[in-house]
Amino acid sequence: MKHQYSSFNFPVFTLLLLFLFSSCGSKRDIVYFQNSDRIPMDMYDQIGDEFKTVIMPNDNLFITVSAEDPASVEIFNTTQFNRSVNYSSNTLDILGYLVDQKGTINFPTIGEFHIAGLTKMEAVDLLQKEISKYLTKPAVVNIRFLNYKISVIGEVNRPGVYTVSDEKISIPQAIALAGDLTIYGERRTMQLIRMEKGERIFIPIDLTSPDIFFSPYYYLRQNDILYISPNGTKAGSSTYNQNLPLIVSLISVTITAIALFIRYK
């Protein structure tokens, strides 16, 4: 009696098994913010209440001073600046005040002014007090960050450097800007890279946990970097894929030989 193996394609079956094993992933390693329903809703209302952007060395600040009498505050504004002109971002960079490594800027009339470590509102208040010494009527100071940027690199669909116009961005928002993580992105051990007090620090972030919403790192600072490393499947496949043709050939030859041996035994 002959064994009917001719209708069964062993090489194809083997390839399917290899594909299934290589592509399998645990749902626990993929889904974001797991078990978030266990956290009381009123706790989410507090997210971001304490976040304040702090001015740091190398920040580029665009500072304007206005008053009822524009002529009275001309000495405090960049001489080349014209409010009626729409400037490009490169031009605004030139007109901005770069915070040096000592944390100071050189402001017209006032001179050297220490500003690093202050929030934007604190810097506005101090500048207004200094400027008021030279004016009979109050002036309004406005400060904008020209280089509030974050970087998202690694296993995301659109890695790159992103400018944050409203000067406030959360980790989930940054990931959304980068087109979300790829299926190969490691969600449990994402790295936040940040400069603090002149040193580079690395903070692990777990996107699968809702605890991220209550983390002091939930909102990103200017020049933060998010790095998403490849998971084990992607890291292993980088070597595996190089040898895939040879492996498939060996398996195919072996299975064919076994099938022929069984058939004609």
Rounded distance, CA 49 to CA 32, Å?
A: 23
Q: Six-digit token pair at 1?
A: 């009696």
Distance from C-alpha of 48 to C-alpha of 219, rounded to nearest angstrom: 7
Alpha helices in the chain (DSSP H): 10-23, 41-44, 89-95, 120-132, 171-177, 232-263
Which range has the worst mean pLDDT, 76-80, 145-149, 198-202?
76-80
Which is higher by pLDDT, 47 or 19?
47
With 70 as the cut, is the pLDDT of residue 149 above it? yes
Q: Which of 116-120, 164-168, 258-262 has the highest mean pLDDT?
A: 116-120
Q: What is the pLDDT of residue 263?
A: 67
pLDDT band at 150 (very low <50, low <70, confident <90, very high): very high
pLDDT at residue 155 greater than cutoff 60: yes
Looking at per-residue pLDDT, the higher value among 1 and 66 belongs to 66
Q: Name the pLDDT band for 22 (thresholds 50, 70, 90).
A: very low
Per-residue pLDDT for 226 more than 90? yes
Q: CA dihedral defined by 46, 50, 53, 54, rounded to 10 degrees? A: -160
Q: Summarize pLDDT for 227-247 with one digit per residue, the tens.
A: 999 987 665 555 555 555 666
**Length of the chain in terms of residues written:** 265
Residue 49's pLDDT is what? 64
Percentage of the chain with pLDDT > 70? 71
Residue 190: closest CA among 222, 240, 225:
225
Span 76-115, pLDDT tens digits: 987 555 555 555 556 566 778 999 999 999 999 999 999 9
Contact (CB, 8 A) for 191 and 224: no
The whole-angstrom separation of Cα 184 and Cα 215 is: 24
